[in-house]
């Protein structure tokens, strides 16, 4: 290729890159202006409808056009495949690297041979958490790491600290969650609970229970043990 043509191609590619960057910057500016604060986490141009996928710092996904002339707050469905594209992206964005979880900050309960691993974030005063703990009594061959995540009330924090400082944490946890036996007052270093709260905010955990599987996938809310067993079996395959 002649030098002059190479130069022209380079200039064209540079111009296109600059335009794309400018478009992203203008969309970000428009979205932040609409919301009234720097709220955009990331922007991605989608292959459908000329839309921009806007991931907000809250974890929500919305859509807009190049001019930010409209904002779509809802799910995008692929009419051909019938797949919920928004939910698929949300699942991708909410996955974590399970191996980075600080399991030493969690209450450990082993069922059977403990070969399957689950991590949960739970508040001791959460009704659905208590239902989940009862349900998990019937799970086979699993190790459950429960991160005490007191977000509902000051009493949740007090109970979490007493459970964490108990001589047998797993017993104190199950005694309270299943039998309603209030954990006796105890004192120790409860820095792990503060770290759990910081970790939960980082992972955008806004409700309990929240479960994580070893592939990094997230399950929000109560799940029956039969459904969880099926998911774990598929994960193993």
Do 117 and 217 lie in one domain? The reply is: yes
Last residue of a domain, one of 77, 94, 111: 94
Residues 111 and 140 in one domain: yes
Residues 70 and 141 in one domain: no
Structure confidence at residue 57 (pLDDT): 86
Tell me the percentage of the chain whose pLDDT exceeds 70: 90
Spatial contact of 146 and 124, defined as CB atoms under 8 Å apart: no
**Separation of alpha carbons 6 and 10, rounded Å:** 6
- Determine the pLDDT at residue 161: 97
For the segment 145-160, the average pLDDT, to the nearest whole number, is 97
Which of 86-90, 129-133, 142-146 is predicted least confidently? 86-90
Beta strands per DSSP E along 140-235: 142-148, 210-213, 218-220
The answer to whether residues 194 and 111 belong to one domain is: yes
Question: Do residues 107 and 89 both lie within one domain?
Answer: no
Mean pLDDT of 151-159: 97
- State the pLDDT at residue 12: 41
User: Does 131 lie in the same domain as 75?
Assistant: no
Nearest C-alpha neighbor of 172 from the set 191, 152, 153, 188: 188
Length of the chain: 237
Is the pLDDT at 6 greater than 80? The verdict is no
Residues 67 and 169 in one domain: no
Chosen domain end from 46, 74, 94: 94
Residues 137-145 have a mean pLDDT of 93
Q: How many structural domains comprise the chain?
A: 2
Structural domain that includes position 104: 98-236
Whether residues 192 and 103 fall in one domain: yes
Residues 86 and 113 in one domain: no
Angle at 96 between CA 81 and CA 236, to 5 degrees: 70
Residues 180, 86: one domain?
no
146 to each of 124, 143, 211, how far by Cα in Å? 11, 10, 9
Residues 109 and 165 in one domain: yes
Rounded to whole angstroms, the Cα distance separating 168 from 164 reads 9
Same domain (yes/no): 107, 221:
yes
Mean pLDDT of the chain: 88
Residue ending a domain, choose from 94, 110, 129: 94
Query: pLDDT tens digits for 11-31?
Result: 344 444 444 444 889 999 999
Kindly state the average pLDDT of the residues 48-67: 89
User: What distance in Å separates the CA atoms of residue 193 and residue 158, rounded to the nearest whole number?
Assistant: 11
pLDDT in tens, 198-232: 999 999 898 999 999 999 999 888 888 998 988 88
- pLDDT tens figures, 72-112: 998 888 888 888 888 888 878 888 999 999 999 999 999 99
CATH at residue 102 = 3.40.30.10
pLDDT attached to residue 113: 93
């Amino acid at each position: 290729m002649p030098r002059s043509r190479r130069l022209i191609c380079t200039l064209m590619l540079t111009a296109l890159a600059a335009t794309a960057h400018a478009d992203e910057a203008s969309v970000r500016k428009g979205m932040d202006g609409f919301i009234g604060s720097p709220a955009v986490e990331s922007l991605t141009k989608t292959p459908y409808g000329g839309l921009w996928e806007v991931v907000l710092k809250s974890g929500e996904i919305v859509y807009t056009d190049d001019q930010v002339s409209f904002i779509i707050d809802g799910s995008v469905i692929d009419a051909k495949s019938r797949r919920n594209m928004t939910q698929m992206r949300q699942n991708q964005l909410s996955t974590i690297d399970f191996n980075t979880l600080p399991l030493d900050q969690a209450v450990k309960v082993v069922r059977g041979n403990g070969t399957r691993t689950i991590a949960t974030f739970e508040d001791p005063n959460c009704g659905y958490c208590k239902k989940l703990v009862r349900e998990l009594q019937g799970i086979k061959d699993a190790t459950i790491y429960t991160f005490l995540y007191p977000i509902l009330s000051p009493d949740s924090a007090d109970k979490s600290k007493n459970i964490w400082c108990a001589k047998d944490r797993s017993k104190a946890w199950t005694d309270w969650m299943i039998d309603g036996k209030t954990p006796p007052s105890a004192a120790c270093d409860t820095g792990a609970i503060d770290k759990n709260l910081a970790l939960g905010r980082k992972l955008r955990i806004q409700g309990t229970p929240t479960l994580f599987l070893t592939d990094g996938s997230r399950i929000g809310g109560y799940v029956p043990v039969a459904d969880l067993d099926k998911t774990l079996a598929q994960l193993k395959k």
